[in-house]
A and B are shown apart, each in its own frame.
Chain A
Amino acid sequence: MRALFSSSLAQTGLFLALLLAAPWLLTNDYYLTVLILCCLNAIIVVGLNLLMGYAGQISLGHAAFYGLSAYTTAVATATYQLPMELGLVLAVAVTALIAVGIGIPALKLSGHYLGMATMGFGLIVFIFLNETIELTGGPSGFVGIPRLELFGYAFETDRSYYVLTACCLAGVALLSLNIIHSRAGRALRAIHTSEKAAMTAAIDIARYKLLVFVLSAVYAALAGFLYAHYLSFVAPSSFGFLFSVELITMVVLGGMADLWGGIAGAFFLTMLPEFLRAFEDIEVLLFGSILVLSMLLLPDGFAGGLRRLARFAAARLGRSGGGADGGTGGDVDGPDAAKAAAPGAGGRP
């Protein structure tokens, strides 16, 4: 256990160091914004990966939690002028409560039915954000959210905001690694493998599913809070069905049940449109094609691709079976996963 913890700590530390070093490699300050958005998406994806990759439950409505939190803090801090610490507490509490309310009935469903229920929930939230114009500003968005100031420290520069989001991401990753390696993590994997078997092993299925669902909603809430106070503007279109789908794609493309893989997927898919922007009209086309192609060529995502590459290399070097750990989580080390996220080095074998 202790060894596992220090290995998670080492991985997370290395990852954070890489993240913090990244701005020095950037030529353009605009890319810092992109990196911040990468971190925010990665925070949500870590939670979604716990839910999908480890517990095997799908959610087609995670964008709604992100949006609910962003709007809660926007209304709290801009409309009611509450302090931001309170905004954070409110945003997380409201999102968690709604997640409990929707999770208890929804998680009794499985497969496509759970997908439909979470998608329906996401659409209802989306319509609500669009139509309650007095509260949310409607389709044109909510303007004038104050920039973040926590405990007397104002995060005024993009660089300080980036450090904050990177640290949040590292914190979320460390917490999740610990959950994965704990009794709860093993329970989740057992549920994924067979609910019946898990039940006979005295695992309270409903409780664990709800727990991980709410936890993933809370991660999304944290990201939503940071998003709102970074852009100081939110609009419903950022929290629609397509964003939920994009989040799932990040998880699958990065590697289900592989925390660092999921993060790599989040970085890759968030950066991708920025690099496709040069192609203007066919940007969407390329995006769709990359989705299809990567599923055809990399069925286990970046993480699986890297594992295969490692195995191939090991076989070439004559150390048969050396790198074949094939385990479930945290097996791919930080720097490799981060490299896969870098543009161009798409982790393709």
Chain B
Amino acid sequence: MDFASILQYLISGLTVGATYGLTALGFTIIYNTTGIINFAQGEFVMLGGMFSVFFLNVTGLPLPLAVAAAVAATVAVGAFIERCTIRPVKHPTLIQLIIVTIGVSIVIRGLAMLVWGKDTFALPAFTGETPLRFLGATILPQNLWILGITLVLLAALKRFFAGTMFGRAMLACSHNKKAAYLSGIDVQRMVLFSFMLSAFIGSVGGAILAPITMASYDRGILLGLKGFAACILGGLGNPFGAAAGGLILGVLESFGAGFVSSAYKDAFAFLILLGLLFVRPSGLFGKSAATRA
């Protein structure tokens, strides 16, 4: 196997992995403030792509505005979900909330199918489709956009959680909700905000991925599962573990597809994940004591 094709697999793996990572980040943010695994996370990614196509083609907005409008619309959906389906659950247990988010994801998918149909839609690449050559491998400009935006988002999140009062308040909720409440943090507002933030991250991921993989109403399911897998791989609750987990999962998948068999690429990724879980149950970057409790 020559160097150029290894590099090629690496690049495509990193690109796909970046979106897994963004989905995983969304999972992590909600998990940290609420303890819920939000199974509708993949639908945020789908909505990011579909809304972008909708605003571009139907309302005729220019591409950057269309993407911005799509992200705003998805954030509104995230807020709506928290207000109307998560908050009203009385004495919530974990499994109930999980089923609620699964129900929500089914509803969103159903609505998207009703409104936009079952077709796949293409979103134009942000800056042309002329491929760049790099050490024998081909890179699409969109790949660079995806990697770049993911890095920028990660840096911004790090800044947000470490450097702003609001971000630290959210972090406090993840450490101990009661203690956060006692020190005057409005926990309910943080929960609402965590849904909006992960809708934001998910929809950005969806919008930047759409030019490469196309957008359709059922894009969210598998992306959601992969995002969840990336979270576990990186250690649940650790945002940078989640992003790294996504990249690793994407690269593994890409190499699995290239060197073993493309039919089994998903199985390959999950097999490695299972192996890892059995050997190191807390994920790559998780604290080992936290899991068996």
CB within 8 Å of B: which residues of A?
Answer: 52, 58, 105-106, 108-113, 115-117, 119-121, 123-124, 127-128, 131, 241-242, 245, 248-249, 252-253, 256, 281-282, 284-285, 287-292, 295-296, 299
Binary flags per residue of B73-99, CB closer than 8 Å to A gives 1, else 0:
000000000000100111111111001
* Pick from B90, B107, B293: contact of A110, CB under 8 Å: B293
Are the C-beta atoms of B274 and A124 separated by less than 8 Å? yes
Q: What secondary structure prevails in chain B residues at the interface with A?
A: helix
Contacts of A124 in B (CB 8 A): 267, 270-271, 274
For the complex, what is the distance from the CA of A249 to the CA of B229, rounded to whole Å? 21
Contact of A296 among B85, B228, B282 (CB under 8 A): B85
Cβ A292 vs Cβ B278 within 8 A: no
Contact of A123 among B92, B104, B267 (CB under 8 A): B267
Chosen A-B contacts, 20 in total, with CB atoms closer than 8 Å, are: A108-B292, A110-B292, A112-B232, A112-B236, A113-B232, A113-B281, A116-B228, A116-B229, A117-B278, A120-B229, A120-B274, A127-B266, A128-B267, A241-B221, A245-B102, A249-B99, A282-B110, A282-B114, A292-B85, A299-B96
Chain A residue nearest to B107 (CB atoms) is: A288
A123 touches B270 (CB 8 A): yes
Q: Is B277 touching A117 in the complex (CB atoms < 8 A)?
A: yes
B134 to chain A, nearest CB (A): 32
Q: Is B274 a contact partner of A292 (Cβ separation < 8 A)?
A: no
Q: How far is the CB of B269 from chain A (nearest CB, A)?
A: 9
- When distances are taken between beta carbons in the complex, the residues of chain B under 8 Å from A108 are 278, 281, 292
B103 within 8 A of A: yes
Q: What residues on A are CB-neighbors of B99 within 8 Å?
A: 248-249, 252-253, 291, 295
Question: In the bound complex, do residue A281 and residue B228 qualify as a contact, i.e. CB atoms below 8 Å apart?
Answer: no
Instruction: Enumerate chain B residues within 8 angstroms of A252, measured Cβ to Cβ.
Output: 95-96, 99
A-B contact count (CB 8 A): 124
**A108 CA / B102 CA spacing, docked (Å):** 26
Q: Which residues of B contact A284 (CB under 8 A)?
A: 106, 109-110, 113
Measured CA separation A52–B278 after assembly (Å): 21
Size bin of chain B's contact surface: 35 or more
Contacts of A120 in B (CB 8 A): 229, 270-271, 273-274, 277
| Those 4 A-B pairs whose CB atoms lie nearest each other, nearest first | A291-B103, A288-B106, A288-B107, A292-B103
Q: Are A127 and B277 closer than 8 Å at their CB atoms?
A: no
Say whether, besides A285-B107, A285-B111, A295-B103, A241 and B225 are in contact (CB < 8 Å). yes
**Is B120 an interface position by the 8 A CB rule?**
no
Question: Which B residue sits closest to A56, measured CB to CB?
Answer: B95
Q: Name the interface residues of B261-287: CB closer than 8 Å to any CB of A.
A: 263-264, 266-267, 270-271, 273-274, 277-278, 281-282
What does the 1/0 interface line of B214-231 toward A look like (CB < 8 Å)? 000000010001001100
Kindly provide the distance from the CB of B105 to the nearest chain A CB, expressed in whole angstroms.
8
Whole-angstrom distance between the alpha carbons of A13 and B148 in the complex? 66
B37 close to chain A: CB less than 8 A: yes
Residues from chain A with a CB closer than 8 A to the CB of B157 are none
Q: Which residues of A contact B266 (CB under 8 A)?
A: 123, 127
In the complex, A52→B93 CA distance in Å? Answer: 13
Residues of B contacting A116 in the complex (Cβ-Cβ under 8 angstroms): 228-229, 232, 273, 277
B89 touches A296 (CB 8 A): yes
User: Which residue of B91, B102, B104, B111 is within 8 Å of A249 (Cβ)?
Assistant: B102
Closest A residue to B94 by beta carbon equals A111
- Cβ contact within 8 Å between A110 and B291: yes
Q: Which residue of B lies closest to A138 (CB)?
A: B263
B residues near A131, Cβ cutoff 8 Å:
263-264, 267
